[in-house]
Amino acid sequence: MTHDNTSASPRLPTYFISHGGGPWPWMKKEMGPTYDRLEASLADMPRQIGRTPAAILMVSAHWEAPAFTVQGSAKPPMIYDYGGFPPHTYEVHYDSPGSPELAQRVQSLIAAAGLPAQIDPQRGYDHGMFSPMAAIYPKADVPVVQLSLRRGLDPAEHLALGRAIAPLRDENVLIVGSGLSYHNLRNFGPQAHGVSKAFDDWLDAAVVKSTAGERSAQLLQWDSAPAARMAHPREEHLIPLMVAVGAAEGEAGERVYHEDAFMGGLVVSSFRFGG
């Protein structure tokens, strides 16, 4: 992997994307139009970025570790971390290359910020990575390295992680936080419209309409937001947002995907910062 540091290539934005449920790109016959709008928003990211990044660093909601851990394999295997889906979805492949070089760079940046960091040479790709990536870069021709959340899910610590890895944006590496803006599997569908809207309205105000300085302060108090714990009984699908915000602190935010009847009634969003 080569880093592009030329002045002709301005720093890349960061993203927080809603990655959908399970292996949805491989279930279009079963799902019908459910994912059409989310898929279109993900597929539009290369156009928004305006160039092909050297690599993608993806922070997935589906990987937590005692220390911030970077995927170090040159060819990561697949992790089918879902249950109850059709047999063919346990054979899908998203065969993008990894990047041991980028993994070393990421670990060094995190450690330099005084945060615990390690490399896992065996870790594979989970569906928080390969499901959205199947829409973003369907040819799997851009290297992707995953970075874990840290157990405890401390918002401040994940904002600090974002600040630590921000230099990657000037090295043509795209930072993507992959989660869901609403994630309560016990309350999905039309009956969850009200609570998902209440939290989504707060989220949009916090990350888009507030000043960049206010944004981080509000995110630190996210669980005081309207319907916060109804939207996220456990916050692992929200915390990747903190990383995307920390890596673009002080820069503007924009909502790049929004749907008010996802999966029959959920209000969900994705955001881009800077760039």
**Alpha helices (H) in the chain, listed in sequence order:** 28-31, 36-43, 45-49, 100-112, 127-136, 155-165, 193-204, 212-220, 228-231, 239-246
Average pLDDT, stretch 154-174? 98
For the chain, the structural domain boundaries read: 14-273
> pLDDT digit string (tens) for 35-65?
999 999 999 999 999 999 999 999 999 999 9
Query: Which of 8-12, 85-89, 250-254 is the least confident region?
Result: 8-12
Q: What is the mean pLDDT of the chain?
A: 94
Please tell me the distance from the alpha carbon of residue 208 to that of residue 271, in angstroms, as a whole number: 8
> pLDDT digit string (tens) for 206-239?
999 998 889 999 999 999 999 999 999 999 999 9
For 14-273, which CATH superfamily applies? Answer: LigB-like (3.40.830.10)
Which residue(s) pair with 267 in the sheet?
none
Query: Which of 27-31, 51-55, 156-160 is the least confident region?
Result: 27-31
